[in-house]
Amino acid sequence: IHKSCHGFLPAPRHLRCQFLSGAEAPRWNDHDTPEEFNFASGVLDYWTQMEKEGKRGPNPALWWVNDQGDEVKWSFREMTDLTRRAANVFTQTGGLRQGDHLALILPRVPEWWLVTVGCIRTGIVFTPGTTLMKAKDILYRLQVSKAKGIITTDTLAPEVDSVASECPALKIKFLVSDHSREGWLDFRSLIKSASSDHTCVKSKTMDPMAIFFTSGTSGLPKMAKHNQGLALRSSFPSCRKLLQLKTSDVFWCLSDPGWILAVLASMFEAWTAGSTVFIHHLPRFDPNVIVQTLSKYPITQCLAAPSVFRMILQQDFTSLRFPTLEHTCAGGEALLPEEQEQWRRQTGVLLYQVYGQSETGITCGILRGMKIKPGSMGKAIPPFDVQIIDDKGDVLPPNTEGNIGIRIKPTKPIGLFMCYQDDPVKTAETECGDFYNTGDRATMDAEGYIWFLGRSDDVINASGYRIGPTEVENALAEHPAVAESAVVSSPDPIRGEVVKAFVVLTPQFLSRDRDQLTKELQEHVKSVTAPYKYPRKVEFVPELPKTITGKIKRNELRKKEFGQL
């Protein structure tokens, strides 16, 4: 196998046909740790070269559509050209340098791919965020990440402007829009006029690449920092076996571009295999649009949160047979065995599971073609050595409940996060003996299949969103009706789990209508923070259960919700 520092130099002629036929030639081994790696020069530009040499089919690299009938199709050649321009826009016009942080808050627009790859070409660290964020969420992210730049749309630009004066590190603002705005650089026109002459940085595999915000039990979201190895891991043979993508595949991942799942699936996984990334703009989730899109376009593989499949199954569609769909995969939250079976019956396509976190990327899964054990998240994907561990980090025997751990000693595997940025204490807290402790509870059977059980802490996973209770409690506390609250996870037939708030009212609100007050509190939370966090259930209580030191016993409330008390 022909390897170089960048991994994707043309393989010897006798191996090249394997790329084209889709039988992937392993370019790296699972445990390789090359000194240098850069996804843009090593992967994207490799496929550009293949296109130039006529060795890749006509499928675009990126195929974007929206509800208005607009369509963008970019080849790998165009991606290389445009992302080099983006790189020049960031460094030459924006003055950003390798290692600087850029807040990336874009919906599913083609520019998102230009920005991410443009950053990788320059070594600028991108910090993605969902467009559902409100001014306060953005302020927090800009302040703690010390982002020097931000790129967003005109919908969020006013929110950014309302907090920008409190962000001393912020120097440059890029707008993706057809309109201009004072104080903002127009990314679309800059791309048009920028040079496509750019030399990609020779990044080290261990150089930082991206920061993902992720919620925890306490405080505000933490910053999980990843190096270039996150992208390299998608080239490892074991990772390639997960989806077994080939150049002729058209792959659609529905995850919002604010989450690591989108970065992994809609970029690294798909483009490493030379496949087409398919994207529907999808400003609001609508199962009808998903079903129509799967029927209309030649999509061969689809990856989404289990809630998406669940919501489709719960509608009354006359047919769920899709002409080209071959493989479906669910990740981000737990999937029930009966949902897997229902999806197979109605679509004729198997529904596989993957599991991961912002800290870990894809950790385990059912590889395509591997035996599905309904309800299991599959097996560890090398180089991750996943074990079920106790609180001391000792490996537990098969079928014993414990924490999901990833071995980090003696060697931390490629693809695992570097640290929580600027938070050595929280980083150290995740270390447990020789393992990184995910905080997720599970069992592993004798064949190595992992079975998810729940969180060991108070973090809520609602329809694939990781939500920290304090983020919701803080939002509720701003409302005059709330004396105090406790936010916990509660079971839900559609979203798996939802956010539930137990609220103690202030005296002046005690006589108010409870249904009306519930709606008011929900709208309040939606208005001050990203709306996916709002409490779908609210219960008014005279007091909250507390320890003798005054700490709220969320655990007790959660157990009651799940009928465990």
Instruction: Tell me the residue nearest to ligand BCO as measured from the CB.
Output: 356
Dihedral sign, Cα of residue 416, residue 417, residue 419, residue 425: negative
Provide the minimum distance between the beta carbon of 26 and ligand BCO in the complex, in angstroms, as a whole number. Answer: 22
Pick the closer one to ligand BCO by CB: 479 or 533: 533
Cα separations in angstroms, 92 against 87, 95, 199:
8, 5, 13
Pick the closer one to ligand BCO by CB: 358 or 485: 358
Provide the minimum distance between the beta carbon of 88 and ligand BCO in the complex, in angstroms, as a whole number. Answer: 31
Provide the minimum distance between the beta carbon of 160 and ligand BCO in the complex, in angstroms, as a whole number. Answer: 16
CA distance 63 to 267: 12
User: Under a CB-based contact definition with an 8 Å cutoff, are residues 432 and 403 in contact?
Assistant: yes
Provide the minimum distance between the beta carbon of 284 and ligand BCO in the complex, in angstroms, as a whole number. Answer: 5
Provide the minimum distance between the beta carbon of 208 and ligand BCO in the complex, in angstroms, as a whole number. Answer: 19
The vertex-466 CA angle with 463 and 468, nearest 5°, equals 130
Give the chain's end-to-end CA distance (angstroms, integer): 57
What is the per-residue DSSP string for 12-35? PHHHHHHHHHT-PPP-S-TT---S
Pick the closer one to ligand BCO by CB: 8 or 465: 465
Pick the closer one to ligand BCO by CB: 356 or 382: 356
Question: Strand 496-505 vs strand 537-540: parallel, antiparallel, or unpaired?
Answer: parallel
Dihedral sign, Cα of residue 74, residue 79, residue 83, residue 84: negative
Provide the minimum distance between the beta carbon of 473 and ligand BCO in the complex, in angstroms, as a whole number. Answer: 18
Closest alpha carbon to 380 in 404, 400, 403, 352: 404
3-class SS at 533? helix
Pick the closer one to ligand BCO by CB: 205 or 307: 307
Provide the minimum distance between the beta carbon of 454 and ligand BCO in the complex, in angstroms, as a whole number. Answer: 15
Provide the minimum distance between the beta carbon of 315 and ligand BCO in the complex, in angstroms, as a whole number. Answer: 12
The vertex-53 CA angle with 109 and 114, nearest 5°, equals 15
Pick the closer one to ligand BCO by CB: 104 or 132: 132
Kind and range of the H or E run holding 239? helix 237-243
Pick the closer one to ligand BCO by CB: 88 or 131: 131
Residues that bind ligand BCO (CB under 6 A): 132, 255-256, 259-261, 283-285, 305, 307-308, 331-332, 356-358, 361-362, 463-465, 531-532
Pick the closer one to ligand BCO by CB: 324 or 527: 527
CA distance 529 to 517: 18
User: Under a CB-based contact definition with an 8 Å cutoff, are residues 451 and 444 in contact?
Assistant: yes
